[in-house]
Amino acid sequence: MPPRPKPELMAPAGNWTSLHAAIHAGADAIYFGVRGFNMRDNSNNFRVAELPRIARVCQQAGVRAYLALNTIIYENELARVRRVVAAAAAATIDAVICWDMAVIGAATALGLPVFLSTQMSVSNSASLATFYRTFGIRRFVLARECSLAHIRSLRRNLTTELGADANTIELEVFAHGAMCVSISGRCFMSESTVGKSANRGQCTQPCRRPYQISSSEGDVSFRMGDNYLLSPQDLCTLPFIEQLLEAGVSSLKIEGRGRAPEYVASVTSAYRSAVDFHFENRRKPGFQQQFQALKDSLMQQLKGVYHRGLAAGFYMGRPIDQWSGAPNSQAATKKIHVGEVVKFYRKAGAVEIRVCDSGFALGDELIIQGPTTGVVRVSVESIQIDHQPVPAAQRGQAVAVQLTSPARPGDRVYRVTRRGASL
């Protein structure tokens, strides 16, 4: 198979801070939801009135913006969802990610491109060809159960199904992030237990908990906590990213609209580095060794942010041993709230921080986050109070720290610490 063009890198945006973090980290596109009608209804999400601003910010940065309207739609919601689609088209949002036929019909009627969601579980060239011929859909978020072999085969067979039109079809796949124990996320466990449907973006994740299994007589029981048998590890394709790039995919999607901005920044920048290095150096001498060294380094970066353990998902076959060994994050680091930015002094290259909670010292790493700033990391090389150097900043103090990247008043400041370290 001939080499494919460099795929798009798509990052999640659950709020304005994450949106800017994704842009600054090198995303080619972002995807986001508005309140209601998306599979991360528990996230902050955006208001419909913010669609023009989202489009404007992304267009100015040369980044595409995709609206996720990927839940099932009930009869009494048809009018409202059509208004949302119309607002997205008017705001020049680049595409809608969906699978409910009502949304597909509303979008296509307005000429708004549709990306068929993974919720539709498209996993073969015949299904893809039918959606293309019937609705003109050209991008498909493949079912999560597709292996690398499936993707290669699907891409080859598209030519048989569609002829020359096969070259206009885009295959989008998940490259990193949370996975669901159910088929492409269509799970009823949360709906059954607490009345909150995963297919409406309201999943309470009961699969992530330990469970007690008891015999019907009640004389024997087992606590299933060492391996969370309903809770998969997070997907991570970085160790074999070159195989995914060569399989013919057009877009690599990072899951995580419900995760923190530093997760978006770290994961996006890691995959940005890997994809760019691969396409810029794959034909140069020594590429394999250099690329492996880069991936090893980037894996340490990925392990520093939230994850439940990192695994290959279905790309290498059935992941029968890739279940989480713990209920929460396995990240090597965590963030501790410090305070907030008071003022940024551009000429001096410094930021004033009001320390409200945990203090910090020389040599610590800080994360500064804000809805316009995105995510900025800084290693503390100097701390000053009233222009006098001090070794540490304590609660209640206002201190100055060297910083070249812009920050804004009100941005939140965190200290990064390794798990198990003293707070």
C-alpha–C-alpha distance, residues 403 and 382, integer Å: 10
Final residue belonging to a domain, choices 324, 356, 383 = 324
- Same domain (yes/no): 375, 341: yes
Cβ atoms 384, 308 nearer than 8 A: no
- Regarding whether 105 and 172 lie in a shared domain, the answer is yes
- Cα(203)–Cα(77) distance, rounded to whole angstroms? 20
Same domain, 150 and 177: yes
Residue 161 lies in a domain: yes
Residue linked to tokens 């509303």: 106
pLDDT tens digits for range 46-69: 999 999 999 999 999 999 999 999
CATH number at residue 129: 3.20.20.70
**Within-domain flag for 188:** no
Distance of CA 385 to the CA centre of its chain: 39
Q: What is the pLDDT of residues 157-216, one digit of tens each?
A: 999 999 999 999 999 999 999 877 766 556 666 666 677 766 666 666 666 667 676 766
Token pair, residue 217, equals: 């007589």
In a domain, 224, yes or no: no
Domain shared by 238 and 174, yes or no:
yes
- Residue numbers of the domain that contains 403: 333-418
Answer whether residue 370 is part of any domain: yes
Q: What is the pLDDT of residue 151?
A: 94
Cα-Cα-Cα-Cα dihedral sign, residues 21, 24, 27, 32: positive
Say if residue 374 is in the same domain as residue 295. Answer: no
Residue 200 covered by a domain: no
Clarify whether residues 158 and 73 are in a common domain.
yes
- In the numeric block, the tokens 């600054």 are attached to 24
Q: What single-letter DSSP state applies at residue 62?
A: T
| Residues 19 and 57 placed together within one structural domain of the fold | yes
pLDDT along the chain (423 residues), means of 10: 80 96 98 80 80 98 96 92 97 97 96 95 94 96 91 93 94 90 65 66 67 68 59 87 92 94 96 97 93 95 89 78 65 88 94 91 95 94 93 91 94 86 49
Mind listing the pLDDT tens digit for each residue in 16-36? 999 999 999 999 999 999 987
Please give the pLDDT value at position 43. Answer: 60
Q: Domain count of the chain?
A: 2
Distance CA(155)–CA(157), nearest Å, equals: 6
154 and 264 part of one domain: yes
Residue 195 structure tokens: 């009345």
Q: Are residues 270 and 251 in the same domain?
A: yes
Residue 262 sits in the same domain as residue 155: yes
Q: Is the pTM of this model over 0.85?
A: no
Q: What angle do CA 68, 72, 77 make, to 5 degrees?
A: 95
Same domain, 260 and 373: no
